[in-house]
Amino acid sequence: MRSSSFGLSPCRFPALRGEAIRPLPRLWQERQCAIWALAGRHLSPTGRGVKWGPALPCLDSAAGSQSVRRVASGTPSELTAEERALLRLARQELGDKDTSFLRGQTGIDWTQVASLAVRGGIAGLVESNLRQLGLGGAQHNLAMAGLHIEVENRRLLRETVAVCAQASARGVLLIPLKGIALVGAGIYANPGFRSMCDVDLLCRPDRFEQVLGILRERGFEETGYVPAQHDYYHHVTLVKPTGKRQVMFELHWQPTYGFFDFQSVLAEWFTRSRRVRTVDGELPGLSPTDLLLSVSLHLATHRFRAGLKWLVDIAEIARRWQAKIDWQQLWSDARRLGAVSALTFAFKMAVRLLDAPISGLPPAGLRERLGRRLCSDAAMVRSEPQPGNLSSGLINLLYHDNVRDGIRLLMHKAAELAERRHINLRFLRWDRQRRSK
């Protein structure tokens, strides 16, 4: 999503009401304000992004600098009691240990847990677990947020089924990615468990213009589009007004941002795709292996923060499809992409924080230890916004196996930002196809 590349705020939520089509940064700021207002919190859009309100005192940066020690729950002691409780609630099936841990907590500020759940995009999931356990008191705002997410997600699913069916009738295969793919595949028992702000669709590069035409026929318009987007980015964003709300689609020719060697695996993703049944009709879907790889790389491009739901996605896929995932193929594809480091870091974080059933991971090396200093567990749990430019650049270097690919990404990004300011630095741009093996 664009927040990873341009430093926009996290926790985007589809709660717009009747605005005209406008550039994306402002649009997303207002989305965030709407959902935080729904949860009883305050944020104010500013010219530099979203200004964090006083709702979460635990977000003091000093909290993330405390020494990290292992505790009985398996999570670092840098996390507060509320954050550890959130991690126990951030799963669809609670085990006996989870239930015992949650019932044994005293003095928990459940309102803060609810705020973290909303920010992390898992309001519905956490509310469902709290209700079943009889904990947290009357979390009205959390319940309202979950219901709103369910309504919006069902609306997005209906539109996605219609778009994919129209494309299929014209001989074009569109593959849903990320949130809409997970909802369509039934990873979450309830569509309201996990928020989405848009629909991500992947098409073959040679069919991009044809699909763009189909979306325009259905009333979509490009928003925040610049001509250099095809050269520098990985998708085009389109918005369709529907009554008092809007539907946002992102049409991808590459799954995520970055210098991963996607051309080596994308054709196989389309070949291995399957049909999944939804309440609104059939959808194309990635194989379990490819879906897990795609959501893990998406988390890496967001620098392992900005949305706890993305880490929950990894854990839930691993739990639900443990026997269906071809782990050998997954690691083989990661090596071809140059993304073993990104995948390893994402998996270890999911195991450490959410007890994801993923084994056989390599021991920590220097790259991973440095990564944990730059991408702390606390930043992930709190869904903190993107770090400063220096830290972001270092993280970009770390999650590419080949450091030269990370450097190319930094040069590419510099040229892109310059282009948006009408400064020609195209000599810095590096063709993504020309990766060194």
**Domains of the chain by range and CATH?**
2-428 (3.30.460.40)
Is residue 393 classed exposed, middle or buried when 0-12, 13-18 and 19+ CB atoms within 10 A define those classes? Answer: middle
pLDDT the model gives residue 77: 54
In angstroms, the CA 191 to CA 182 distance is 9
pLDDT the model gives residue 118: 95
In angstroms, the CA 118 to CA 83 distance is 13
Regions in the chain scoring below 50 on pLDDT: 1-75, 432-437
Phi, psi of 208 (to 5 degrees): -60, -50
The per-residue pLDDT for range 23-69, each reduced to its tens digit, is 344 344 444 444 444 444 333 333 333 333 333 333 333 333 333 33
Q: In DSSP terms, which residues pair with 175 in a beta bridge? A: 202
Residue with tokens 């830290």: 391
pLDDT the model gives residue 350: 97
pLDDT the model gives residue 3: 36
In angstroms, the CA 354 to CA 341 distance is 19
Using an 8 Å Cβ cutoff, are 259 and 408 in contact?
yes
Phi, psi of 126 (to 5 degrees): -70, -40
Using an 8 Å Cβ cutoff, are 21 and 274 in contact?
no
pLDDT the model gives residue 74: 42
pTM above 0.85, yes or no: no
- The neighbour count for residue 236, using CB atoms within 10 Å, is 22
pLDDT the model gives residue 93: 95
pLDDT the model gives residue 401: 86
